[in-house]
Amino acid sequence: MEIRPILASLRKHRIPATLIVLEIALACAVLCNAVFMIGQRMADIHWPNAIDEQGISVITVNGTDPGHAASDIPRDLIALRGIAGVTAVAAGTSMPLDQNPALSGFTTTPDGKTTVNSSVYFLGRGGPQALGLHLLEGRIFNDDEYADSGFKGFNSTGHVLLVTQSDAQRLWPNQNALGKVLYTNGRSWTVVGVVADVLAQDPKFSGPGGRYSTVFFPLQPDGAMGDYVLRSAPQDRARVLREAMDALSKLEPGAVLQGATYAGMRGDYFADTRSMVWMLMLVCVVMLAVTAFGIVGLTSFWVGQRRRQIGIRRAVGATRGHIMQYFQTENFLLSTAGVVLGMLLAFGINLYLMSRYEMSRMPWYYLPVSAVALWLLGQLAVLGPARRAAAVPPVVATRGV
Amino acid sequence: MFAYYLDLALRSLKRNKVLTLLMVLALALGIGATITTLAVLRLLSGDPLPQKSAQLFYPQLDPYPANRPFSRSGKRVPFLLSYVDAMNLLHAGKAPHQAAVALSQVKLTPQTQQGKPFYADGVMTTADFFPMFDAPFEYGTGWSAADDDSRAQVAVIASYLNDKLFGGANSVGRMIRIEDHDFRIIGVLRPWAPQPRFYALHLGGRDYGKGEGVFMPLQGARADGISPSTMMGYGSSIDMQHLESAQAIWLGLWVQLPTAADVAAYREYLGHYAQQQVALGRFQKSDTALSGLMEWLRSEHVVPDDARLQAGLAFGFLLICVVNTVGLLLAKCLRRSREIGVRRALGASRGAIFAQFMVEAAIVGVAGGVLGLVFAELGLWGIRHQPAQYASLAHLDLSMFAFTFVVALAASLVAGLLPAWRACVVAPAPQLKAS
């Protein structure tokens, strides 16, 4: 295909050509950034969380008398354990993604200067089993350690804790965490086990560094425990939750109960993110449609204007294929110019967003991918007008109009 | 003349229905998206108390130890106050009005037999809260400074809570059971929910929404063991039973300073106070801050980033739609070169041709605006069904309604400029010759 005649004709139609290039460039820039944002948010939604997400249901109990916790919690647990299908049950202070951050700063030496903030969970007896924590090294708590651990001023009065793999890496880089000691406010705890990464109560609040910095303390029945964690097979979840709510509302008539499957809690946490993803996708689709229609409109006009020339070319021997190719190549050239400009623009927008918002650098492969997408879009959009152009009969050349 | 251009424009638009529809649709989509996101942004970044915000200030102090700064950079002044400092500033009475605020999730137990206990957002504050923030009362009044000091068990409730508990009747004098303690209702507010909820920032509440249900005197509520939603310790450990003396920050303080001189005086007072505390050994740093309400909202980034990103994206989209409209209008007008030639030959001036094409563009703009309004309403309807805190507030007010048409007209006229200019420079002679 000869490109020079196309360039010559484009030079004569500078304004429409510029408009198409501009439209494609803008679409490319917006598309790159929007798709990048979609990708980032999708990654957030799929943050891994090493607990049995599909088997857990959580009932939050509020408004009970904390003074009776020592007797009420064991009584409630016995009732919950009696529900058919429940494989493990425990009380705890909070859950990953429950949106109530509980952070504590720890140091690795008694008089340490640099504190590392970790999300803190207190688990009652059977807690690791109920959550389905995945033990990587060491052991979980034993009965004595639960009995020995209280809750005072947001700290454990016990002497042991579990840490997640990420937290262990952050606190003691390239060392074995087992047996190491954490300190805060004159208290200290020994790491007895390392578990796979569990999310913070509010990982967006904790930030990228603290998302998986999590520690677990054992705790005897205490008023600070507001959550009952029930584990069952996924298919029993709904029934187990219903029966557990019934049982608890009889046992704790004065309390306010809130029950949810863990999958539901996760869904709630990311509801905002998901709606943003949908919104971004909608904008992308509509924007691409508008761009495509713009190309169709302008190319159709072009074809209409050049009927005579097309007729002449056909009359002097050009095949329908040649005419088609002409418009396709023309569109390809315009798309290329638009895409090159668009990639620069996309990169600039990304830099701007990085400086103003919490946005990371766009990986390079977003640029060629959206370039290919716009090339394809351009070719698809030009197909209709190009076919109409190819259908122009040679006889048009001989007519006045 | 205008009527004639209108007629010409309508004829021309009718001649090519698909192209016209395409232009209007694209413009409407762009405008719909822009207006939807702008309406949300306006709602989120609005002034919560337009008549008062210029006079409201938020003082900050830094009681944190030097080796354990509040923020990693050490530059930020803590955003809450300890009880001791809040009370010292409050009792110094350096401003005509001042109120300390903490939020709490409280259990409310209806007095009826079948009513189940439920949780509501509560505010623990001091007497000046209501007059300072212009909270309007439906029934009764707020409490007095004497009630604060005597730890009175009184409460003011929001209108929606009054509807829920008492069917909207005058409930002043009735009792309400909060966290298993009885409080006497002394006031019922009219629907009142400043957006953003400036006084709830960092206190563990929501930044937007229908507002808190129940307001209690700080000391009275604390006497019943009601604890704040958020507290941050800077000492060895927090004793929840004695938060008043704990090394913990958990209160926001608002002061009303009517004039610039008052602000300067208060700033000076705050500096002196911090230095005095350093001298007493209570503080190690004498950093202070005093921000106006709007400045405070801006510095705390209360508007979610997503809302800004969406607005930016919508603007990008509108730009694409405008470029698209320019292209299509241009295609339309160049196709009519012959008609233009004839009109020019018959004596129409360049200005007349220009005006004719601008009228055509304006018609597209108005149509795009009307359809864009439909899209915007649709978009806002969609946002109202989103899980965001501010979802229920998303609506189009009169000024946004008018603004839609301004945007639509501006966009279409900008889009029309280039085609109209191309049209008016068409030389008449060659066009006439061809036929």
DSSP 3-state assignment of A230?
Answer: strand
> CA–CA distance from A341 to each of A286, A336, B233, B425 (Å)?
21, 9, 53, 30
Domain boundaries, given as residue ranges, for chain B = 2-45+304-434, 53-299
Residues in chain B with CB shorter than 8 Å from the CB of A287 are 317, 320
Facing B239 at nearest CB: one of A153, A302, A401: A153
DSSP string, A326-389: HHHHHHHHHHHHHHHHHHHHHHHHHHHHHHHSS--PPPTTHHHHHHHHHHHHHHHHHHHHHHHH
**Cross-strand pairs, B288:** B61
Q: Does A297 sit within 8 Å of B331, measured CB to CB?
A: yes
pLDDT at A155: 84
Query: How do residues A284-332 score in pLDDT, each as one tens digit?
Result: 999 999 999 888 888 888 888 888 888 888 888 889 999 999 999 999 9
> CA–CA distance from B138 to each of B108, B110, B141, B160, B399 (Å)?
21, 21, 9, 12, 29
- The share of chain B scoring above pLDDT 90, in percent, equals 40
Separation between Cα atoms, residue B330 and residue B334, nearest integer Å: 6
Contact status, residue B127 vs residue B91, Cβ threshold 8 Å: no
Whether the predicted pLDDT of B125 surpasses 90: yes
Question: Which of these ranges, A229-233, B304-308, B332-336, has the smallest mean pLDDT?
Answer: B332-336
Distance from CA of A351 to the nearest CA of B (A): 14
pLDDT at A101: 84
Q: Does A15 sit within 8 Å of B418, measured CB to CB?
A: yes
Residues in chain B with CB shorter than 8 Å from the CB of A38 are none
Closest C-alpha among B155, B105, B150, B151 to residue B129:
B155
Q: Does B19 sit within 8 Å of A153, measured CB to CB?
A: no
Taking the Cβ of residue B328 and every Cβ of chain A, the question of whether any pair is shorter than 8 Å is answered with yes
**Most B CBs within 10 Å: which of A106, A157, A293, as the mutation test of the B interface?**
A293
Closest C-alpha among B281, B251, B273, B291 to residue B76:
B291
| Helix residue spans in B156-198 (DSSP H) | 159-166
Facing A19 at nearest CB: one of B109, B305, B323: B323
The pLDDT mean for chain A works out to 89
- Mean pLDDT along residues A381-391: 90
pLDDT at B237: 62
- The share of chain B scoring above pLDDT 70, in percent, equals 97
Phi, psi of A399 (to 5 degrees): -85, 160
Q: Does B237 sit within 8 Å of A287, measured CB to CB?
A: no
Closest C-alpha among B102, B66, B67, B105 to residue B83:
B102
- A-B CB pairs within 8 A amount to 127
Closest C-alpha among A50, A177, A206 to residue A116:
A206
Closest C-alpha among B34, B135, B87, B417 to residue B250:
B87
| Helix residue spans in A149-230 (DSSP H) | 165-171, 203-210
- Mean pLDDT along residues A83-102: 92
**Cross-strand pairs, A59:** A228, A259
Query: ipTM, 2 decimals?
Result: 0.82
Residues in chain B with CB shorter than 8 Å from the CB of A401 are 435
Taking the Cβ of residue A280 and every Cβ of chain B, the question of whether any pair is shorter than 8 Å is answered with yes
* pLDDT top residue among B137 and A5: B137
Question: Which of these ranges, A247-251, A292-296, B205-209, has the smallest mean pLDDT?
Answer: B205-209
Separation between Cα atoms, residue A368 and residue B157, nearest integer Å: 59
pLDDT at A401: 47
Separation between Cα atoms, residue A286 and residue A288, nearest integer Å: 5
- Mean pLDDT along residues B212-239: 85
Name the region of B151 (left: φ>0; alpha: ψ -120 to 50; beta: rest). Answer: left
Query: How do residues B275-309 score in pLDDT, each as one tens digit?
Result: 999 999 888 888 899 999 999 998 888 888 888 88
CA A386 to chain centre: 41
Separation between Cα atoms, residue A382 and residue A156, nearest integer Å: 69
| Token duo for residue A305 | 């204007």
Q: Does B386 sit within 8 Å of A301, measured CB to CB?
A: no
Question: Which of these ranges, A81-85, A250-254, B1-5, has the smallest mean pLDDT?
Answer: B1-5
Taking the Cβ of residue B224 and every Cβ of chain A, the question of whether any pair is shorter than 8 Å is answered with no
* Closest residue in chain A to residue B379, using alpha carbons only: A279
Facing B331 at nearest CB: one of A33, A256, A298: A298
Query: How do residues A49-61 score in pLDDT, each as one tens digit?
Result: 999 999 999 999 9
pLDDT at A114: 74
Q: Does B29 sit within 8 Å of A286, measured CB to CB?
A: yes
Q: Does B321 sit within 8 Å of A357, measured CB to CB?
A: no
Distance from CA of A137 to the nearest CA of B (A): 31
pLDDT at B112: 72
Angle ∠(B67,B69,B72) on CA atoms, nearest 5: 115
Whether the predicted pLDDT of A16 surpasses 80: yes
Q: Does B118 sit within 8 Å of A30, measured CB to CB?
A: no
How many separate helices (H) and strands (E) can be counted in chain A? 13, 13
Taking the Cβ of residue B15 and every Cβ of chain A, the question of whether any pair is shorter than 8 Å is answered with no
pLDDT at A400: 56
Residues in chain B with CB shorter than 8 Å from the CB of A63 are 107, 117, 119, 179-180
Confidence band for B170, pLDDT divided at 50, 70 and 90: very high
* Closest residue in chain A to residue B318, using alpha carbons only: A287
Q: Does B330 sit within 8 Å of A297, measured CB to CB?
A: no
Domain boundaries, given as residue ranges, for chain A = 4-46+272-398, 93-229
CB contacts under 8 A, B 368-397 vs A, are 386-388
